[in-house]
Amino acid sequence: MWESGPSAWAFEEFGSAQVKDCRWRLRLVRVGERAARRPRGRVTEVFARSDERQGAYGLLESAAVSAEQIGAAIFEASARRCAGQPYVLCPIDGTSLTLTDREEAKDFGPIGTRAAGSRGIKVMNAMVLSGDGVPLGVSSQQWWTRPKRRRRRHRNALRPDQKETQHWLAAMKQTREVMEKYAPGTRCWFQLDREGDSWPILREADLGDHWFTIRASHQRRVLLASGKRSTLKAVLAKQAVKLQYSLEVRAAPGRRARTGNMVVRACRLTLDLRDKRTGRRSPMEVNVVQAVERGTTPRGEKPIKWTLFTNRPIQTVKDLTDVIDGYSMRWRIEELHRTWKSGACRVEETQLRSTSAVSKWATILIAVAVRIERIKQLSREQPDRPATDEFSPVEIKAAALLYFGKAAKKKVNLVSTPTIAEVTLWIASLGGYTGKTSSGGPPGSITLARGLESIRAAAQALEALSSD
């Protein structure tokens, strides 16, 4: 159960941190609560009082609390929310935190191309979602910094544990382990983009009783029943069309909005995997689902095309749509990264001076980013859900008073519980949301974060008044 309100949420999220001194655990919970009330990248912007700022800096700079311990607490909380569900979607993706280090005086590493000279930290995140795409938390984080010098050997001459591939493997392993411990009856369904199309990742994803869907990147070789080899493209071209459906395509740079006509082919085949370092080949049976746009692609654009490897059964039309819909949820982790890095939480604006401190602060903030993304998605996917599932009663009252003003008592029956869609709209409006017509869509994470900050002071004042 996801407890409502920042205080209860922070205790649920960080209260299980395994630190020797319980005072550090209590401070971690308080820091998490304040960050949830006022998401910001800089510590000085989150904490208004000097004693709170010093407490936060003490936590982030102390060797008594590590990013791994903070991460383990949020992974446990995330897994507990998954308990009881038959499966959860687990998108995994890597990203970089680009941080200020002009003099190269901090222990960060190169980011992006070395010619650009950017500095920062690399991270691989695994996220867990309900079957309908509502965020439940983060199940793994892998932090690392790249060395200053280029590696001397070509990447094909390195073992998987010598390449950044290892972080994909570790994220899947850590997710399986935390789920098996706190949600043993729940299956993981890993969702990976084209970077996951490598033989070590395919093998790792297929371990245990879990599912995977990985978008194909390579024109892989396929072993036929006759013993001969063919290509993935040639085999799929011979398959009959299993399904056609319409896809609403949003406008993007280089892409026009439209309703795409998608044609689906599917089959089971044997991939001819090869380790480029040793030359060793190994067969792997997978199901393949390919969705290709046909007849609706504007001139000058490439048709939308997904070729997906999966071990999920594909015997029925519903199985095929489940695979496609599941992969479409992979974008949730990109939305999380946007909220975390440059949106509501703006973690890349931090001025902390060490990898240790940044990784701790960023781990706290990614939990906050998940909470914001969860509220956003719940208001869209489950709009009639009671607002008390995510907000405390005093937050709901504060939002109503700020949104409606003196008319709050007439406009809102504060005795009954409003829906999460209603309260989310009030909060987003306080953060600058002006409606679908002008914004082009429902409330986003930035307006939600601004609104949550707006109701912070009002909620605290109401709590103080009620305690007198």
- Residue 445 is predicted with a pLDDT of 87
pLDDT score of 464 more than 90: no
- Residue 152 is predicted with a pLDDT of 63
- Residue 436 is predicted with a pLDDT of 60
Task: State which H helix or E strand residue 371 sits in.
Answer: helix 355-381
* Cβ atoms 36, 47 nearer than 8 A: no
Per-residue pLDDT band for 4 (boundaries 50, 70, 90) equals low
Per-residue pLDDT band for 438 (boundaries 50, 70, 90) equals very low
- pLDDT tens digits along 69-92: 999 999 999 999 999 999 999 999
Most confident among 34-43, 112-121, 122-131 (mean pLDDT) = 122-131
The mean per-residue pLDDT over the stretch 452-466 comes to 81
Per-residue pLDDT band for 407 (boundaries 50, 70, 90) equals confident
- Residue 253 is predicted with a pLDDT of 86
pLDDT score of 155 more than 60: yes
- Residue 314 is predicted with a pLDDT of 97
- pLDDT tens digits along 269-291: 999 999 988 989 999 999 999 99
pLDDT score of 363 more than 90: yes
* Cβ atoms 290, 236 nearer than 8 A: yes
- Residue 394 is predicted with a pLDDT of 87
- Residue 19 is predicted with a pLDDT of 94
pLDDT score of 196 more than 90: yes
Closest-CA residue to 43 (of 336, 458, 459, 346): 346
- Residue 455 is predicted with a pLDDT of 85
Per-residue pLDDT band for 440 (boundaries 50, 70, 90) equals low
**Would you kindly state where each structural domain of the chain is located, as residue ranges?**
383-467
Chain mean pLDDT for the chain:
91
Q: Quote the pTM value.
A: 0.91
How far is residue 311's CA from residue 205's CA, in Å, rounded to a whole number? 9
Which of 22-31, 189-198, 371-380, 455-464 shows the lowest per-residue confidence on average (mean pLDDT)?
455-464
How far is residue 457's CA from residue 463's CA, in Å, rounded to a whole number? 10
How many Å is the Cα radius of gyration of the chain?
24
Six-digit token string for 90:
């687990």
Closest-CA residue to 125 (of 340, 371, 389): 340
pLDDT score of 450 more than 60: yes
Across 191-213, b (16+ Cβ under 10 Å) vs e yields bbbebbbbbbbbebbbeeebbbb
pLDDT: is 1 or 59 the higher one?
Answer: 59
Q: Which residues contact 81 (CB under 8 A, 6 or more apart)?
A: 1, 2, 128, 136, 137
pLDDT score of 263 more than 90: yes
Per-residue pLDDT band for 341 (boundaries 50, 70, 90) equals very high
Per-residue pLDDT band for 183 (boundaries 50, 70, 90) equals very high
pLDDT score of 459 more than 90: no
pLDDT score of 424 more than 50: yes
- pLDDT tens digits along 124-143: 999 999 999 999 999 999 99
Positions of E strands within 362-428: none
Per-residue pLDDT band for 437 (boundaries 50, 70, 90) equals very low
Task: State which H helix or E strand residue 192 sits in.
Answer: strand 187-192
- Burial of 247: CB neighbours in 10 Å, binned 0-12, 13-18, 19+: middle
pLDDT score of 116 more than 80: no
- Residue 48 is predicted with a pLDDT of 86
- pLDDT tens digits along 219-260: 899 999 998 999 999 999 999 999 999 998 888 888 999 999
Per-residue pLDDT band for 439 (boundaries 50, 70, 90) equals very low
What sign for the dihedral angle of Cα 255, 259, 260, 262?
Answer: positive
The mean per-residue pLDDT over the stretch 409-424 comes to 80
